[in-house]
Amino acid sequence: MSNTLGRLYRVTCFGESHGRCVGVVVDGCPAGHRLDTGHLQAELDRRRPGQSRVSTQRTEEDRVEILSGIFNGVTTGAPVCMLVWNRDTDSTRYEELRWTPRPGHADYAAEKRYGGHQDYRGGGRFSGRLTAAYVMAGALAKQVLAATHGIEVLGYTCQIGSHVAPDVTIEQVRGNTDSNPVRCPDPDAARTMEKAIQEARDQGDSLGGAVKCVALNVPPGVGQPIFDTLEGDLAKALFSVPAVKAVEFGAGKALAHMRGSESNDPYTVAGGRVETASNNMGGVLGGVSIGAPVEFTVTFKPTPSISKPQQTIDLKTLEETTITVEGRHDPCIVPRAVPVVESVAATVILDHMIQRGYVPQVIGEIR
Amino acid sequence: MSNTLGRLYRVTCFGESHGRCVGVVVDGCPAGHRLDTGHLQAELDRRRPGQSRVSTQRTEEDRVEILSGIFNGVTTGAPVCMLVWNRDTDSTRYEELRWTPRPGHADYAAEKRYGGHQDYRGGGRFSGRLTAAYVMAGALAKQVLAATHGIEVLGYTCQIGSHVAPDVTIEQVRGNTDSNPVRCPDPDAARTMEKAIQEARDQGDSLGGAVKCVALNVPPGVGQPIFDTLEGDLAKALFSVPAVKAVEFGAGKALAHMRGSESNDPYTVAGGRVETASNNMGGVLGGVSIGAPVEFTVTFKPTPSISKPQQTIDLKTLEETTITVEGRHDPCIVPRAVPVVESVAATVILDHMIQRGYVPQVIGEIR
Amino acid sequence: MSNTLGRLYRVTCFGESHGRCVGVVVDGCPAGHRLDTGHLQAELDRRRPGQSRVSTQRTEEDRVEILSGIFNGVTTGAPVCMLVWNRDTDSTRYEELRWTPRPGHADYAAEKRYGGHQDYRGGGRFSGRLTAAYVMAGALAKQVLAATHGIEVLGYTCQIGSHVAPDVTIEQVRGNTDSNPVRCPDPDAARTMEKAIQEARDQGDSLGGAVKCVALNVPPGVGQPIFDTLEGDLAKALFSVPAVKAVEFGAGKALAHMRGSESNDPYTVAGGRVETASNNMGGVLGGVSIGAPVEFTVTFKPTPSISKPQQTIDLKTLEETTITVEGRHDPCIVPRAVPVVESVAATVILDHMIQRGYVPQVIGEIR
Amino acid sequence: MSNTLGRLYRVTCFGESHGRCVGVVVDGCPAGHRLDTGHLQAELDRRRPGQSRVSTQRTEEDRVEILSGIFNGVTTGAPVCMLVWNRDTDSTRYEELRWTPRPGHADYAAEKRYGGHQDYRGGGRFSGRLTAAYVMAGALAKQVLAATHGIEVLGYTCQIGSHVAPDVTIEQVRGNTDSNPVRCPDPDAARTMEKAIQEARDQGDSLGGAVKCVALNVPPGVGQPIFDTLEGDLAKALFSVPAVKAVEFGAGKALAHMRGSESNDPYTVAGGRVETASNNMGGVLGGVSIGAPVEFTVTFKPTPSISKPQQTIDLKTLEETTITVEGRHDPCIVPRAVPVVESVAATVILDHMIQRGYVPQVIGEIR
């Protein structure tokens, strides 16, 4: 019931997994940005189902349609409505599952939240398919960030199951992430991860993992303490991505093990610019960027849809029963989540750049 | 610049570490709640500096003053303004530190965000002292949650440095948390943790750690997907607590290592009520509560104030220099953060309970 | 850049006069309402262009399409996206007018707000056509208000040019409003008004007027002082209707001429219910409903599009010039504005009913 | 329950008529503004009770106290908390009136909104005394508007009872408004109005009237259509001023009587600047400023407190009864409302100037 995110760059989503479409209205995009629809489509393609052996076999073309807000190829300042139509839906099995909530899914939560009126087909409003809307809004945000400040938002798979990738350079991230199906920039790790996913799938099971994300060139001074912090707003948005269960900035959880003398990032000067010698803080202090890369890690739980039998209850009789969840599911959502995480981050960062006055209401306008 | 949190139970904070006071305006508290000022003061006392050998020696009485919103001992529905005055401030050393940002602190971030106009004394608007405001707002929220739904919000220290407490029962949490200075319900772990803090302090260093928090009796169906999820709003609020760098729900980061067949919490029935056999999800699915305890873990970085020399820069000359941060600082903030984490959680949960219509605008009013 | 209205019943609009469509996303509609699409279409038909001799000859079928949020004919609690496609657009003349802002229109305002990037065809984002979105959102709100509380929102034309209709009864409003092209419940006044409009059109000129609106059965205690008052939120929403320049509650401007002994509405009791003997206050005191009919009057300026020559400037040369605005315009917008005013009012009232907890998140759910 | 106004310049009010204080937290004031406390106090003095024979005899010193947000005399970007303490309260008579709602007052509305828990002394949260908070927030806004853009917000009494002042020049407004007790810039009209107020008071009755307000030097392009229009946000804020019942922009209600050929303001060029030859639109088109003076008129109902006997009911017995409202009341609120209207307008305009990026987050900061 709260499908709008952001204060000045505001994203309102609509649509369901097995409804007619998934769409988004972006309100507050600065006027005067020349939309790159090729980039927008390419971002959707990175998220699209059916890309590889390690993702779901549901096939959706997911061609973006733009209904408003663009005139002569340029943003007008009016709301930009974008959508993709649903085509390859198969709702037959969901009638069977209607009264037996799938463990790990939102079925029971939705039942209690919406009093039984929710669209339960394919997860309805709780489906991962909704992230297509995030990607459309985020692709637009990425374009504006890149065009106005050279900001780059780069995500990649850093963990699948128990396989944690070694540290990588930004060059590896830029060069390798999209060149393998798991989106891990380390080729060896990528191969191991891919194998692990296939193995889990063959066993009717699923895997979790983690995505690391870095935003480069965010200027210092961005964030609105004490409540609308850069970390807080990023975290809030990231938890709206299905299956996310943990968000860490910089060294994150590992900071609990450090001493202050290790964790504090010393200030230094490089080329006349203030920098930090390390980045344990993930580029944010007091909820405000300091000019270092904004870095965070997002943990995804294993896909809840597994074909192994699971214990649940019948909501009508309140008796225990067993279900198996067949269908075309990702055995691990992490690879396809990479562009989603980037999109959510770009959306939040652009909102904060506008709030701070760093991106103007009209592109190119100087006061 | 965004010092208001919440949609229907809205908390607006003001004040600085070395200013006149720290205060909060709570807007949207239901009318008709009989305020327990004893409880309110007790909560502030749990957060107060100078409680023990492991906390700062700044001494503040922190007596709550209520300026509005209560009439005949009862909330009227009007905004409740509460504050504590600052008394034991010593700003002398901050002039020296004016141009040498302390690593790990928000000094440099504030400089860039507020263009040098920020109150830099004692961390100013970025000080941990501001959490007194969170506790006042949260204590009121706790009271309303307990009175209307028997909801209990219980936090405790689960990690200090590398010392991780063993699993504890709710009874241990209730009984033991406040009986030792580190607020760890396991007595053995508590002793080890206390010793570790003292050791770090003696070495002029500091420690991080983690707080676990459980909210009991939150009914199912609370949360406003897809963006104002219970997880997202909790996380956003928690990241406004100074030094928080990671937020996890349920098994959190450990979920990345599990398979779906392990992580999915099976549904079961107990006493005619739907329950889950485990709680890896932390009581939230699809951003909505399912009736299981809402559980999360918050990681705190080590206190950035350490007396060891640290490398920084002089903002005026842009040359590197060294500082030591003397003063009365907590060598580990975690024990005093426990009531803060609980307060933030209670604030968010009450806001969501009101949004869902589970707590009425007027206590006792039935429609 | 702020195309969302409301706090819990939230309406986000998109689309342009000569773009692909005009649409709306309604977020926060309670789950469990059975949508009456016939009523929804009928409301759109009341607003549709080309209804009569006194309205524009642009013809748009304006068939509502529902893209999301309805499942098995019932609201799910997910956002409801509704739109009408644009078909009968003719943008040829707008290229000519590009640099000569039409007096009384938003052309120049848009130029300055959006830096020249606005869609200037047919008024773009400032067109009266956007009110189709208000009507879709408002029709849904009307249905929920009627179904849950028997609330009825009735508007009618009370003035066209200098012709002010005599006082009418609620029965006349219900029975006569839609039976004549000007939507005035007094048949004699209606005829005079219709003639006045035709006369103005024949002279290449236009007329203004006023709509009165009454909401019946709004329970007492609705409104969120001190800022989100019922009056303030209604007024804000009404000023988003193109051409509205004044909003009055109850006796409105006439109150300036009264004494307190005349203007105060005495309380009385009728059938065990508290009532007022008069309604000079328009059913609202202190920003909160008192159970009397909520009454307000909205003044519309004359349609700015007139075919008489008008003085303007050339934005490129900054020299004065003359334009005539040809095309298919309403010589008086008031008759078609009646359903728009009702819709806006219903939208705001439902939002406040939900905020007050009088309409639950799930229809029929009792706590 | 919604005591916060604004999006980026946000005002949160607290306090009651007979409570301890009336205060305000201003969040989002740009950093780097040197506060003029003399001006702030002078603005409060203009609103203060007991100024003259035509206002209430309650005497309040109303010395502003600043609790936060100012450091070295300059705004820091942190929330500015300001308050005035209540001293001259006399709550004795309110116990008597507890169950007999005063006609024209919010007593009954409050009873229904807050379930009987409201502070009923002196109107509690609905008292005109709360406007002291508006004036503090507005004085700060006025200063920032003047310092950054030379914007001037000028209000004056244009009507008392049936006495309507003739048109006045800006010079008369600047020079004469505060030189007479009714704040009407036309000296003859002022004398007549003053006499009328005294006459009404002598008869135990009260008068209404109207305030006109002009904001000069608002640049074109300010306003956030389609919902957060300059008109809509001004109107919403103005309706939060007690006793306001109508808001009109430009010619307002008179526009209903005009033809388009009269009402449209022709564009012209003067000194290389686009202007309009008239200002029937009040400087706003499509919800956006066009560079002409922003002009509006606010109608106030007669003060509801009159000493003549009035009919009301006993809420406990639901029987009709009679009351007289004794005490120290303004026989006409309009003169003291002038600074309140200006303050509210300045608050809204500054918020919109910040939203548009015309006032930066840090004063003097250029991007």
pLDDT band per the 50, 70, 90 thresholds, residue B1: low
Task: For C49-64, write each residue's pLDDT tens digit.
Answer: 877 777 776 677 899 9
pLDDT at B242 over 90: yes
Number of domains in chain A: 1
Closest alpha carbon within chain D to B3: D27
Closest alpha carbon within chain B to D118: B76
pLDDT band per the 50, 70, 90 thresholds, residue C329: confident
pLDDT at D367: 54
Both structure tokens of D188? 């003859």
Could you say which DSSP state residue D125 is in?
G
DSSP letters for B212-224 = EEEEE-PPSS--B
Give percent of chain B with pLDDT exceeding 90: 89
Nearest to A315 by CA among A112, A125, A36, A169: A112
Say if D367 falls within a structural domain: no
pLDDT at B275: 96
The phi-psi region of residue A115 (left if phi > 0; otherwise alpha if psi is between -120 and 50; otherwise beta) is left
pLDDT at B331 over 90: yes
pLDDT at A367 over 60: no
pLDDT at D95 over 90: no
Note every long-range contact of C85-92, with CB atoms under 8 Å and residues 24 or more positions apart, other chains counting.
C85/C20, C85/C21, C86/C15, C86/C17, C86/C18, C86/C19, C86/C20, C86/C21, C86/C22, C86/C60, C86/C129, C87/C60, C87/C61, C88/C58, C88/C59, C88/C60, C89/C17, C89/C18, C89/C121, C89/C122, C90/C327, C91/C18, C91/C121, C91/C122
Neighbouring chains to A with at least 3 Cβ pairs closer than 8 Å? B, C, D
Averaged pLDDT for residues B178-189: 97
| Residue C318 to residue D249, Cβ atoms within 8 A | no
pLDDT at C49: 81
Per the model's pLDDT, the better-predicted residue between C364 and B295 turns out to be B295
Averaged pLDDT for residues C16-32: 97
* DSSP β-ladder status, A284-285 and A288-289: antiparallel
Contacts of D358 in chain A (CB under 8 A): 367
For chain B, the first-to-last Cα distance in angstroms comes to 38
pLDDT at D55: 74
Q: In the predicted model, what is the mean pLDDT of chain C?
A: 95
Say if B364 falls within a structural domain: no
What residues of chain B have any CB closer than 8 angstroms to a CB in chain C? 7-8, 355-358, 360-361, 365-367
Averaged pLDDT for residues A351-359: 97
CB distance D300 to D211 below 8 Å: yes
pLDDT at A53: 72
pLDDT band per the 50, 70, 90 thresholds, residue B99: very high
pLDDT at A95: 81
Averaged pLDDT for residues A237-242: 98
Averaged pLDDT for residues B305-313: 95
- SS3 category, B341: helix
- Could you give the CA distance from residue D120 to residue D112 in angstroms, rounded to a whole number? 13
What residues of chain C have any CB closer than 8 angstroms to a CB in chain B? 7-8, 355-358, 360-361, 365-367
Nearest to D244 by CA among C235, B314, C181, B255: C235
- Could you give the CA distance from residue A264 to residue B303 in angstroms, rounded to a whole number? 9
pLDDT at A198 over 60: yes
Say if D366 falls within a structural domain: no
- Could you give the CA distance from residue D135 to residue D45 in angstroms, rounded to a whole number? 10
Task: For B204-215, write each residue's pLDDT tens digit.
Answer: 999 999 999 999
Domain, as residue range, for B73? 4-355
Task: For A36-86, write each residue's pLDDT tens digit.
Answer: 999 999 999 999 987 777 777 677 789 999 999 999 999 999 999 999 999
Q: Distance, in angstroms, between A139 CA and closest chain D CA?
A: 24
Say if C367 falls within a structural domain: no
With 0-12 CB in 10 A as exposed, 13-18 as middle and 19+ as buried, what is B92? Answer: exposed
Give percent of chain D with pLDDT exceeding 90: 89
Closest alpha carbon within chain B to A14: B226
Averaged pLDDT for residues D177-186: 97
Q: In the predicted model, what is the mean pLDDT of chain B?
A: 95
Say if C213 falls within a structural domain: yes
- Could you give the CA distance from residue A165 to residue A193 in angstroms, rounded to a whole number? 9
Both structure tokens of C176? 């006569």
Q: In the predicted model, what is the mean pLDDT of chain A?
A: 95
Task: For D25-40, write each residue's pLDDT tens digit.
Answer: 999 999 999 999 999 9
Across the interface, which of D68, D77, D364 has its CB nearest the CB of B118?
A: D77
H-state helical runs in B76-225? 92-97, 107-114, 131-149, 170-176, 187-202
Residues 6+ positions from A49 with CB-CB distance below 8 Å: A55, A56, A57, A58, A59, A60, A328, A330, A336
Contacts of B7 in chain C (CB under 8 A): 7
The kind and range of the H/E element at D137 are: helix D131-149
Task: Please say whether the dihedral angle defined by the alpha carbons of residues D126, D132, D138 and D142, taken in this order, is positive or negative.
Answer: positive
pLDDT at C1: 65
| Residue A288 to residue B109, Cβ atoms within 8 A | yes
Averaged pLDDT for residues C238-256: 98
Distance from CA of residue A138 to its chain's centroid?
Answer: 9
- Could you give the CA distance from residue D192 to residue C166 in angstroms, rounded to a whole number? 33
Distance from CA of residue A175 to its chain's centroid?
Answer: 20
Averaged pLDDT for residues D80-109: 90
Both structure tokens of A191? 């191969």
Q: Distance, in angstroms, between A313 CA and closest chain B CA?
A: 6
Q: Distance, in angstroms, between A112 CA and closest chain D CA?
A: 27
Per the model's pLDDT, the better-predicted residue between A367 and B354 turns out to be B354
Task: For A281-338, write each residue's pLDDT tens digit.
Answer: 999 999 999 999 999 999 999 999 999 999 999 999 999 999 998 777 889 999 999 9
CB distance D280 to C102 below 8 Å: no
| Residue A81 to residue C364, Cβ atoms within 8 A | no
Per the model's pLDDT, the better-predicted residue between B287 and B326 turns out to be B287
Identify residue D157 by its one-letter amino acid code. Answer: T
- Could you give the CA distance from residue D126 to residue A128 in angstroms, rounded to a whole number? 48
pLDDT band per the 50, 70, 90 thresholds, residue A1: low
Say if C212 falls within a structural domain: yes
Nearest to A229 by CA among B2, C360, D40, B298: B2
Say if D138 falls within a structural domain: yes
pLDDT at C59: 74
| Residue A3 to residue C27, Cβ atoms within 8 A | yes
What are phi and psi for residue A22, nearest 5 degrees?
-125, 125
Averaged pLDDT for residues A5-30: 97
Instruction: Spell out the SS3 assignment of chain C.
Output: CECEECCCCEEEEEECCCCCEEEEEEECCCECCECCHHHHHHHHHHHCCCCCCCCCCCCCCCCCEECCCEECCEECCCCEEEEEECCCCCCHHHHHHCCCCCCCCCHHHHHHHHCCCCCCHHHHHHCHHHHHHHHHHHHHHHHHHHHHHCCEEEEEEEEECCEECCCCCHHHHHHHHHHCCCCCCCHHHHHHHHHHHHHHHHCCCCECEEEEEEEECCCCCCCECECECHHHHHHHHHCCCCCEEEEEECCHHHHHHCEHHHHCCCEEEECCEEEECCCCCCCEECCEECCCCEEEEEEECCCCCCCCCEEEEECCCCEEEEECCCCCCCCCCHHHHHHHHHHHHHHHHHHHHHHCCCCCCECCCCC
Both structure tokens of C11? 């309406």
Task: For C66-92, write each residue's pLDDT tens digit.
Answer: 999 999 999 999 999 999 999 877 777
Contacts of C78 in chain A (CB under 8 A): 3, 14, 16, 118-119, 124-125
Domain CATH code at residue B201: 3.60.150.10
Within 13 Å, how many C-alpha atoms sit on residue A137's CB side? 33
| Residue A259 to residue B161, Cβ atoms within 8 A | yes
Say if B182 falls within a structural domain: yes
Task: For B114-166, write each residue's pLDDT tens digit.
Answer: 999 999 998 899 999 999 999 999 999 999 999 999 999 999 999 999 999 99
pLDDT at D333 over 80: yes
Task: For D248-282, write each residue's pLDDT tens digit.
Answer: 999 999 999 999 999 999 999 998 899 999 999 99
To which residue do tokens 């971030």 refer? B109
To which residue do tokens 């609120």 refer? D333
Q: Distance, in angstroms, between C42 CA and closest chain A CA?
A: 24
pLDDT at C93: 77
Helix, strand, coil percent content, chain A, rounded in steps of 5 = 35, 25, 45
pLDDT at A259 over 70: yes
Could you say which DSSP state residue A7 is in?
S
